[in-house]
Amino acid sequence: MTAISKGELSSFLNQGTFTAKLATVKEDGITNIMLIFAMSRRF
């Protein structure tokens, strides 16, 4: 995997808000979903 430049990272993050969901299931069957998000100020 190649590294991205600071300019490429800034361009990617300035496109808006990105979200992901992380889901887990405990041994007793209880589920948990956590929202993960990244926001960036426009430079």
Q: Each residue of 1-43: pLDDT tens digit?
A: 789 898 888 887 777 767 889 999 999 999 999 998 766 565 4
Q: Each residue of 11-21: pLDDT tens digit?
A: 877 777 678 89
Per-domain residue ranges of the chain:
6-38
Q: Concatenated DSSP letters for 3-42?
A: PPPHHHHHHHHTT--EEEEEEEE-TTS-EEEEEEEE----
